[in-house]
Amino acid sequence: MTTTKQIRPFHTVLVANRGEIAIRIFRTVRRMGYGTVAVYSEADRDSPHVRCADRAVLIGGAAPRDSYLNIDAILEAARRAGADAVHPGYGFLAENEDFADAVDAAGLVFIGPSGAAIRAMGNKAQAKRLVMAAEMPCIPGYQGEDQADAAFIDAAAGIGFPVMVKAAAGGGGRGMRLVQDASALPQALASARSEAAVAFGSDELILERAVIAPRHVEIQVLADSHGHVIHLGERDCSVQRRHQKVIEEAPSPAVDADLRARMGEAAVRSAQAIGYIGAGTMEFLLDREGRFYFMEMNTRLQVEHAVTEAITGLDLVEWQLRVASGEPLALRQADVQLKGHAIEVRLTAEDVPAGFLPQTGPVLRWRPPTQGHDVRVDHGLAEGGAVSPHYDSMVAKLVAHGTTREEARRKLLRAMSDCVLLGLPSNQGFLADCLADPVFAEGQQVHTGFVQERFGDRLSERALPDARAVALAAFGALALDMPVVGDSHRIEAPAIGQHAARAVLAQGEARWEVQLRALKTQWQIGVRRIDAEAQPVQLAVSNACWDGPQRTGFSAECDGMTETVVLAAQAQALYLFHGGRAWSFERESPHKQRTAEGAGGAVTAPLTGRIVDVAVRQGDAVQAGQRLVVLEAMKMEHTLTAPMNGLVAEVCVQSGGQSSKGALLLRIEAVA
């Protein structure tokens, strides 16, 4: 199969994406002397990517379908801004063949493969048929046109369980379900179809035999319009949660030179077979015996491309631009040298103990680790901004490069301990735990089940701060009302006199009472855990000083050891970054009487989103754990289940409606 792509000169590039993706692409586009155009939705008016471009064009409402997925609006933005090329980024329309064709038909240059190539490889079923013709090893499965449940049930019986149900049109873990036995297959098919239709506009599915404990390894390819294709080595993306990548690295600890050559040759051969042009990624599963199987091809730049850039010294966006302008690749395969090791983590706004539930909210503090020292930070965050419910939960990625894997790991772990995001939950602490895990540090035994295998039930356990962090949080909250002495920003001790100030901080069901007494040269802080039997802790704090007039953090001597913290306060909430971790507290009145939470079986929305399905009606009897409501937000479906046995007393939502975070969805009453 051969695809064609028209080559035209261009001068100004519109990036049809948002956030850190657009900012990263603008960086290279501007360096190469091209003009830049941003597009933005109503929700992104104040996004940093809007200010990074020469011009920015509003293209629609907050919902992706009204803006970043609106092909006509993007083409009109290009016309208005004078752009003659479009870079799709690596999300939204990046793998949409109709978008590539529409850009070409409008007389613009699409900085990516042809619509025909995207069409050929964008559907997993079609892609498997094509690469199998090019002698690519593939996992046994079913990719037939018959999409009836009966066809999948028959196919699964022949393949053997467990099987993977996958969306044919997409990736990123969406529309993917692991099925252990035949009884669970119909529900998995229904759920995967629904999620795939929302995420990709197609509910077509395929089946694959589940490979137990594999590694996820991918090969980066580059192809020009002159028929030359090379690969840039592999990336290992085995650390995943919910079938979505969390940590990526290059090269893979499990791939030697011989295996790299064989996987690379297979990837190049398949790219040549479809006449591919541009940057693309062939994704594989690698089993315990070293056999590799093709999964899919991503016809775009990957989120994790930065680790390949780190070890090759190449800018992949630059080569996308050069190839799109008709230049031949200057490199031959023998010229590609892999130097050192690079590891990337994806910082996401999500609540890990709640099942990695995506979160929205304000960005009260954002202090990325200092760039340099072989650590790269790509992000689109700004203090005073917010993480929207309309888009993906990934907010930044951090990449460390070192001479060895251990050096890269050590640098990245240090960077994570310096990365401050306050105002909403994130996976920052979880990422640090993964990097510090001895199995990850050793590297050879990591596979796609690593997170569950190493953390298991601990993932749902909400860590509590130690008494020192609680004391500093309470001190910061009380100090916000204290005067500052001169230009030194010192916090004046006598401000509260000889009487003890009292604060109550809460985190979930845990509560602490903190008493603060100011003496002549120091404060005495007593911390007592109210909700559990624990010995009170006494701390002496002195030489406290704000980090500036905005009072966003302070340093102080705490029992003779200097501590530095970042602080943010909002209404009755308090946020603290201390000891490499972020903590959040409720600030309660010392006299507040707490009532039991969750009484009455209330089921509330964990985040703002669209109601996909309501599986019960008023009066229905339900069992604990039974599926009640499916909520779609931030590109993912979230199934809410019954917290108890009982009867559905009230249903407050319907399919197709919207619900805000915390809103009552339905209520269950216990049956006597």
**Topology classification of domain 215-460:** D-amino Acid Aminotransferase; Chain A, domain 1 (3.30.470)
Alpha-carbon Rg of the chain, whole angstroms? 27
Residues 208-232 have pLDDT tens digits of 888 889 999 999 999 999 999 999 9
Q: Determine which helix (DSSP H) or strand (DSSP E) holds 196, and give its type and residue range.
A: helix 185-200
Question: Band of the pLDDT at 385, cuts 50, 70, 90?
Answer: very high
Residues 6+ apart with CB under 8 A from 217: 234, 235, 236, 237, 238, 252, 254, 255, 263, 283, 284, 285, 286, 292
CATH class of 599-669: mainly beta
Residue 400 burial by Cβ neighbours in a 10 Å radius (0-12, 13-18, 19+): buried
Listed by start position, the domains of the chain span 12-111, 140-209, 215-460, 467-588, 599-669
Which of 188-213 are b and which e, b meaning 16 or more Cβ less than 10 Å from the residue's Cβ? bbebbbbbbbbbbebbbbbbbbbbee
Mean pLDDT, rounded, for 555-559: 91
Give the residue among 433, 422, 428 at the shortest CA–CA distance from 367.
422
Whole-number Å distance between alpha carbons of 63 and 73: 13
Whole-number Å distance between alpha carbons of 530 and 513: 6
Mean pLDDT, rounded, for 347-370: 93
Residue 588 near residue 511, CB atoms below 8 Å? yes
Main-chain dihedrals φ then ψ at residue 453, nearest 5 degrees: -65, -40
CATH class of 140-209: alpha beta
**Is 12-111 a CATH 3.40.50.20 domain?**
yes
Query: What pTM does this model have?
Result: 0.86
Angle between helices 19-31 and 316-324 (to 10 degrees): 60
Residues 422-472 have pLDDT tens digits of 999 999 999 999 999 999 999 999 999 999 999 998 999 999 999 999 999
Q: DSSP readout, 402-464?
A: ESSHHHHHHHHHHHHHT-EEESS--SHHHHHHHHH-HHHHH-TT--TTHHHHHHGGGGG----
668: pLDDT strictly greater than 60: yes
CA distance to 354, 425, 457, 632, per residue, from 461 (Å): 9, 14, 7, 25
23: pLDDT strictly greater than 60: yes
Question: Band of the pLDDT at 594, cuts 50, 70, 90?
Answer: very low
Give the residue among 580, 554, 558 at the shortest CA–CA distance from 567.
554
90: pLDDT strictly greater than 50: yes
User: Considering only 109-113, 629-633, 665-669, which range has the smallest mean pLDDT?
Assistant: 629-633
Whole-number Å distance between alpha carbons of 229 and 224: 7
Residue 629 burial by Cβ neighbours in a 10 Å radius (0-12, 13-18, 19+): buried
Neighbour tally for 99: CB within 10 Å: 23
Residues 571-585 have pLDDT tens digits of 889 999 999 999 999
Residues 61-76 have pLDDT tens digits of 999 999 999 999 999 9
Whole-number Å distance between alpha carbons of 179 and 142: 14
Q: Letter for the amino acid at 50?
A: V
Which of 68-93 are b and which e, b meaning 16 or more Cβ less than 10 Å from the residue's Cβ? bbbbebbbebbeebebbbbbbbbbbb
- What's the number of CA atoms in the CB half-sphere (13 Å) around residue 446? 26
Question: Band of the pLDDT at 498, cuts 50, 70, 90?
Answer: low
Residue 402 burial by Cβ neighbours in a 10 Å radius (0-12, 13-18, 19+): buried
Average confidence score pLDDT of the chain? 90
Select the CATH number that applies to the domain covering 467-588 from these four: 3.30.700, 1.10.730, 3.30.70, 3.40.50: 3.30.700
Question: Band of the pLDDT at 126, cuts 50, 70, 90?
Answer: confident
On the question of a common fold for 12-111 and 467-588, the answer reads no
